[in-house]
Amino acid sequence: MNKRLHTRLAWIIIGTATCILLISTLSVIIATHYHISMFHDQAAGMNQDVSQLDYHLEQALFQSIIWTFTGSIILAVLIGFYIAKQISKPLIDMKQVSGNECRAGGSIPGSPSAARTSWRNLALH
């Protein structure tokens, strides 16, 4: 159960972060391409060297966006697994304690059912 809960939480966190990063990356790429195309159309009468500069600038921006996206995904995976582990640990501990209490018939010292049992025993005597 520990690994399943931990893994499910991690994939939910990673999936959410990936979707957000994918949407933002695509919007930046599309907007960048649109604005460089618009500049290229406006500067059509200028020197041809500007056209090559536009192409290289667009390629550099795309590469930096893709590298940022890749690094962000790696960071999201690491943080996702860490957060999932931290969230699932107390839940797993509580499940184990309740399972131990059920197997022991409620006789774990300090547990609410043990307190009820001791009050019942006092009332019967």
Q: Are 81 and 9 in contact (CB under 8 A)?
A: no
Whether 125 shows a pLDDT value over 80: the answer reads no
- Across the range 73-81, mean pLDDT stands at 90
Q: Which pLDDT score, from 0 to 100, does residue 20 have?
A: 92
pTM of the predicted structure, to 2 decimals: 0.60
- Residue bearing tokens 């005597």: 125
Q: Are 54 and 40 in contact (CB under 8 A)?
A: yes
Q: How confident is the model at residue 109 (pLDDT cuts 50, 70, 90)?
A: low
Across all residues in the chain, what is the average pLDDT? 78
C-alpha to C-alpha distance for 125 and 122, rounded to whole angstroms: 5
Whether 29 shows a pLDDT value over 80: the answer reads yes
Read off the amino acid at residue 108. I
> Phi and psi dihedrals of 43, rounded to 5?
-100, 25
